[in-house]
Each structure stands twice: as structure tokens, then as C-alpha cells.
Structure 1
Amino acid sequence: MGAHKLILTDDFAEEFLLVAIHCSEEAYKVAFLLNQFATLHLKRSKVDLEYSNNGLEIAFPLFDYEDEMRYINYDLISNKCVAKSARVVSSGGLFDDENISEMVTTHLIPEYKQVDFFLKISTDAPSVAIRKIVTDINDIKQVISAYEVDTEQLKSKNNLIFD
């Protein structure tokens, strides 16, 4: 009997477009502005995007919108999360243990530490007006800049697969 060989191809890659947004506003305000100026209907997801990094539990706020007529999913995700790290330091005495806490900033996409938010656009349709979306976002007064990110060059692309 001959040996059967199965070859597994890497077909798990999710195709999406990514827009980087530089804005100093809070996540809910950015979602509101995108709804108002970019004609999206983003709503806060019931579940935040949660990760565990070096013992810290990190939650990134997530806003999503599914355009059922055009088969497009929009996800607005914050790139920065500030978490409080706590540790106990013993000074060698009987009662002198100290609790030290510090604020730790974690990035969802570490290659783009300056970016405040990402707008992930997932679709099977070949034509998405990405330039119009970027132009609409750049027209918002509170947004410093917005531009498309090449997803093929991202090292931490797996952090954006959260469906």
C-alpha cells in the first residue's frame, strides 16, 4: 500500500484593508465622528478585544458596523491601552513589603506606536472606496491624519484577526 501525503496550505489568512488614524480624542468620540462624517454606523461591541501580555490583562475598546447591503464589516479599534501593573517588593523586613504599581502602555500593533486608532475594513467585494473613506476621515477637524496601511508588511497582523 502506498503512502498518502497531505499538504496543508496556509489559507487561513484574512484579507482586509486597514486605515491608520491619528487623533487625540477618546474612542467613543472617534466612533461618533466617523459615524457623522464618514457615513458609518459604528456601535460599541458588547465584548472588548482582550489580550494577556506579560501577566497583564489588556482590553482594547472595539466598535463595529456590518454593512449588510454591500457585505462590508468595519471595525474601529484603539491601538493603545494603558493598564496598571502591580507587584510586591520585599525589603527583607517582617512588615515592610511594598506594593509598587506603574502604568504600562501596550500597543495592539507595535510597529505603529504613533497611531491612535485603526479602522479595519473586511470585505469579499473587490471594490471598496478606500480613498474616499480616507479623504472623509482626513476632513474631520479633530483628526490629525489618516492613511492606508499596507497589511502585507505588518508583523503583528494576527492581532487584528478577532472575529
Structure 2
Amino acid sequence: MDKKMWKDTFTVDFKLLAISSPIPDFQMAWNINQYTNFTLKRVKDHFIELKKDQFLNTSCFQFKTDHVSIKLLKNKLNDSEAKQVFLIPEMKNIDYFLLIQDDTEELQILNVKSTLSKIKNVILVQVLDADRLKSVVNLMT
């Protein structure tokens, strides 16, 4: 199915934070766990098909309860041909995305943003409007 058609068939039901930081993914997840009450754990890689016969998989850390799901996804990846590939190509300056689905709507995105900004070596934390991202379907699993 064409990505444009697929994008038109769903609504974004998560809040999105963009994070710039040079630290490795496992260390970012650990730091987020230290600064928040989340318990991000490594789960099966996030896997998408970019084009026919071109696939991308990135590490995924997840915290899940009955009403809340939080995922940390790495944006920048190196493929086998030694070039950089991006989960969200229009956001090349971003290293990670934090997807927050909260059915209770008690989790305040600005509080999470403020907390993550305190992590050492985090350069930027920004709230994004996922509906405005051209490649938002790449975040869906």
C-alpha cells in the first residue's frame, strides 16, 4: 500500500518529542529512566519498509502500562553501504524520537520535555506536531 494512502487512513494518536543528543541509544534510555518514572526496556527492533526491497530497522525501547505506552526510537542509522539513513528524513538534526500514547491524558508533554532537558548531553528537546511530518508513517509499527 502506498504510504500516502496509508497515512490518510489513520490519525496520529500519540504525542511526539524530538531529542538531539550524541549519547548511544541504550544510555539515552537509561538516562530517561533515571530522570522520569518510566522504565524503558529494549524490545524488538522497529522495522519498516522504506521502498520496495529496502528495509530499515532501528532500536526500540518501550515502557508500557494498561493506559500508557512510551517508545524511544533512534532516527539516525548507518546502512550497509556506509551512508546515513533516517527514520524521519525531514528531521536530520534529530537523534531520537519519544512517542507518548496516554489514554488517561494525565502525562503532561511539557513536563516530560522539561525533565528530559535536564539530562546531561541532551542538546535539544522539542515537542513536534506529528501530523505535520511527511514521514510520520515510519513511526508506526
State the TM-score, normalized to the length of structure 2. Answer: 0.86
How far apart in 1 are the matches of 2:114 and 2:65? 20
Instruction: Considering fraction of residues, name the structure with more helix.
Output: 2
- Give aligned-pair identity as a percent: 29
Structure 2 portions without partners, runs of 5+: 1-7
Work out which of the residue numbers 9, 12, 18 in structure 1 matches 2:10: 12
Which of these two proteins has the greater Rg computed from alpha carbons?
1
Paired residue secondary structure (1:18)? strand
Does 2:89 correspond to 1:110?
A: yes
Query: Equivalences for 1:12-161 in 2 at 5 Å?
Result: 12-45=10-43, 47-53=44-50, 55-68=53-66, 71-85=67-81, 103-161=82-140
What whole-Å deviation, never above 9, does each CA across 1:66-106 have from its counterpart, x for those lacking one? 133xx110000000110112xxxxxxxxxxxxxxxxx0211
On the 8 A contact 1:56/1:83 being kept in 2, the answer is: no
Q: What do you get for the CA RMSD once the two structures are aligned?
A: 1.6
How far apart in 1 are the matches of 2:132 and 2:34? 31
State the TM-score, normalized to the length of structure 1. Answer: 0.75
